[in-house]
Chains A and B, each alone.
Chain A
């Protein structure tokens, strides 16, 4: 099954790494969208249906926390699961995100397995036969 996945991070390399991790985890058949901050992501969500959002916290223009607050107060977006991938590992910060409605939290640095396990919990098992289109990927799950 393919999904529409939105990756929000101001770091171009990190967006690329997260996308590669999804592909290696068996979600390679999905549609990937990306944005460099929360505001740009909200604009994108007005035009494209999104099944799951992966967001950083520390971003210019609109940070991850304000982004989630905006998603959760919008009737159209509020049920979309949002996973935070951030360097912020402070328990109070993680609690703040979860109370705002985040579906999960992963701290950087992360292993591909960490992302795969959480996303599988949220979206369900990926179909490797159909989705694994990443023969050049070097992750070893």
Chain B
């Protein structure tokens, strides 16, 4: 089931990134974050969203800070100097919310999935293990993981 969801997730990521942030994306194979080419020296921002329904789990999205700043600028139509932390974190949580809601709508289920409120995660240790799908944008890379509960 998680494979079906990840397929839907990829379609949603492409749609959300292109429609709301004007960024085309390409997908790379799954890998751990340490194996991926995500720059470990750059600060990343992490967000998680839990869902429940015919099956339950949570999705973790990791975006390098510089890419997230660019996404926030594109999303809000404001230059970086006019943006506050609330705008940047809000863009991160809204991105994951749109990706998950859109993806879960594409998965057949007896009842609609329920999404919890996405949360910004401050502890980067939680993403050190586990396989992530790496998403390449023209500027940088981001990563997403689905974990079953």
Contacts and interface: CB of A to CB of B under 8 A. Distances in A.
Interface residues of B, number: 28
B72 interface: yes
Given A20-B77, A60-B117, A90-B113, A14 B105 contact: no
A12 B19 contact: no
A13 B94 contact: yes
B146 to A, nearest CB: 16
A39 to B, nearest CB: 15
Interface in A58-104: 58-60, 86-90, 92-93
A16 interface: yes
A32 B111 CA distance: 35
A108 B117 contact: no
B115 interface: yes
Contact of B98 (A16, A93, A109, A138): A109
Nearest to A90: B112
B65 interface: no
Dominant secondary structure of chain A at its interface with chain B: loop
A135 B115 CA distance: 37
Interface of B: 15-16, 19-20, 72, 75-77, 86-87, 90-91, 93-94, 97-98, 100-102, 104-106, 109, 111-113, 115, 117
A89 to B, nearest CB: 3
Given A12-B86, A60-B117, A87 B98 contact: yes
A17 B19 CA distance: 13
Nearest to B88: A13
A108 B72 contact: no
B72 A13 contact: yes
B76 A108 contact: no
